[in-house]
A and B are shown apart, each in its own frame.
Chain A
Amino acid sequence: QKEVEQNSGPLSVPEGAIASLNCTYSDRGSQSFFWYRQYSGKSPELIMFIYSNGDKEDGRFTAQLNKASQYVSLLIRDSQPSDSATYLCAAKTSYDKVIFGPGTSLSVIP
């Protein structure tokens, strides 16, 4: 079992819709979670992080964490073509490593 799992996609949504990206993790002791966006040929850039159960909102982005279910999600409201990228979920595990999932490719169709 991989430590951090994501659906590889591609996930396609129409412009203006909500994109929902999901992530599960295996280490129950994981402390914090991150979402990164990576455009083709570029390095990952941090979108947001979440430490506590519940929702955390930042502009059009909302991260949701459920530690009991070992589940993290990212919602992107009012999706724009510029949001088309690969989204990487990462978990800081109980042994202090930041481990990344394989990423979900998102395509926002104009």
Chain B
Amino acid sequence: KAGVTQTPRYLIKTRGQQVTLSCSPISGHRSVSWYQQTPGQGLQFLFEYFSETQRNKGNFPGRFSGRQFSNSRSEMNVSTLELGDSALYLCASSLVASGAQHTIYFGEGSWLTVV
């Protein structure tokens, strides 16, 4: 069974540009969460989608947005990139979005460098 797939794995962008990251969850999983990981802040929750609806959102500015498609694949977008957005962006999928069975499995991440 394939795991969570994230693309691209590595990318370099310039301040002010925008970026779109893609995530394909484990087959059958309907929930997708996004996290930002930096050395200083650790793993920070961005948002979670289930059945194309955003269920939860973290404390990030509106420049960070996401969506989920009918096949459960998800994308996140960061507009007007800042140097501080340089981070590892991790996508995680789970079978369900609530309850005790809400166990998340991570993809390998997308390394974003903003210069």
Contacts and interface: CB of A to CB of B under 8 A. Distances in A.
B108 A97 contact: no
A68 to B, nearest CB: 19
B98 A96 contact: yes
Interface stretch (A40-48, A56-64, A70-78): A40-48
A92 B105 CA distance: 14
Nearest to A97: B56
Given A96-B97, A97-B48, A32 B106 contact: no
Contacts, number: 51
B63 interface: no
Interface in A66-110: 88, 92, 95-103
A96 B43 contact: no
A31 B56 CA distance: 16
Interface size class of A (residues with CB under 8 A): 20 to 34
A44 B98 CA distance: 21
Interface in B85-115: 88, 90, 92, 97-100, 102-109
Given A43-B109, A96-B55, A96-B98, A101 B42 contact: yes
B45 interface: yes
A98 B33 contact: yes
B104 A43 contact: no
Contacts of B58: 97
Interface of A: 31-32, 34, 36, 42-46, 49, 51, 88, 92, 95-103
26 contacts: A31-B99, A32-B100, A32-B102, A34-B103, A36-B106, A43-B88, A43-B106, A43-B108, A46-B103, A46-B104, A49-B103, A88-B43, A92-B102, A96-B56, A96-B102, A97-B45, A97-B56, A98-B33, A98-B45, A98-B92, A98-B102, A98-B104, A100-B42, A100-B43, A102-B42, A103-B42
Given A96-B102, A103-B42, 14 more contacts: A32-B102, A43-B109, A45-B106, A95-B56, A96-B55, A96-B56, A96-B97, A96-B98, A97-B56, A97-B58, A98-B102, A100-B35, A101-B42, A103-B43
